[in-house]
Amino acid sequence: MRVPPGLHLEYVSPAEYQAAGWDDVLGVASFNSAPDNGAHEDEIPFARVRTRVLAAQNGYEVWRTDKPAASGRHERVSFRHTEDMLFGCIAIAESEVAAESLRSRRAAGASALQEVTAQAYREICATLDAQAYPHLLRVWNYLRDINGDSAGTERYRLFNSARQHALRACGRAVTGSVPAASALGAASDSPLVVYFLAGRTAPVFVENPRQVSAYHYPRQYGSHSPAFSRAALVRQGGALTLFVSGTSSIVGHRSLHAGDSAAQTRETLANIEALLGEANRVGPGARFSLGALACKVYVRRPQDLPVVQAELAATLGLRAQVLYLQADICRQDLLVEIEATAVSPLAGAA
């Protein structure tokens, strides 16, 4: 299969996945306990995310590239890279935290989730340092029981605290120059799964004029703010690629339209449209539009799927590339979250 120049994303079915060629694959994420890589297990990084695929859809997220790639492993991080881009993944179960460390964790006020989060991010940063890909571009985080309580604190807030501490300890920014990212719930038996894209060239980080930057959220949302930008804009060859973080019905820093999945979907799409406008403003030659997005849509309540689908079809068109997943979202009052990837060819590019 010949793919467009640069990085390219596809959401494909199990049959399409198994029939596709492998030479141009940089990395894969599977959903809903889809079959694994088989013979390609040692070559292709494969993130297994335990979320339910909705609408009997495609269950594979495949990142392809037209450039030669090589595979490797650093500690628990499996990765594959080209000369300018690296895809990696890591999974650590909270049960892996050694029982003998329980007392010391409690004394330090740390939970098992915080410990595995810190371990994952330390190993990711060590991998990028060792392979000389200094710039995290896009990160996906999936953790079980994201809205659950642990010793009086929501688990998502514990995750944010551990992520921020780990990034600081590795000498990385926690505001401003931080990657696009998402953090979603996963099945109750899921490990922490993190997969990511990194590069050798710094991206342009993009914020949304309709929203407070996540890393500047007030303390009512937790003692440590989420460490992500609203989007990251990367130039590769003759195109610009935009990685849009998980986006929801938040204006300023407040959630809107409680209980109304249709209104939340419309507000989320308005946020994404504003973000595309900002990316077009700051990215010379960029021409991003809603109709060209590949979207992954997280729906908290499966019964809301037809309403969410109708809103997306009305805005993006019936031929849009969309993957629908059931997942809990970082705030309990949010019913829908949408992330997106878009490529804008530059004028005059070959």
Selected catalytic residue, list 10, 267, 337, 339 = 337
**Nearest 5°: phi and psi at 91?**
-135, 130
Can you tell me the distance from the alpha carbon of 117 to that of 148, in angstroms, rounded to the nearest whole number?
16
Can you tell me the distance from the alpha carbon of 341 to that of 234, in angstroms, rounded to the nearest whole number?
11
**Nearest 5°: phi and psi at 72?**
-165, 180
How many C-beta atoms surround the C-beta of residue 209 within 10 A?
A: 11
SS3 238: coil
Token representation of residue 55? 């609408």
Among residues 121, 292, 271, the alpha carbon closest in space to that of 206 is found at 271
Angle (CA) 25-29-30 rounded to 5° is 120
Inter-residue contact 53 to 323 (CB < 8 Å): yes
How many C-beta atoms surround the C-beta of residue 310 within 10 A?
A: 12
337 is catalytic: yes
Among residues 287, 292, 299, 197, the alpha carbon closest in space to that of 248 is found at 299
Sign of CA dihedral 215, 294, 146, 332: positive
Inter-residue contact 208 to 274 (CB < 8 Å): yes
Strand positions, DSSP E, 178-253: 180-186, 192-199, 204-206, 231-236, 239-247, 250-251
Enzyme catalytic residues? 337
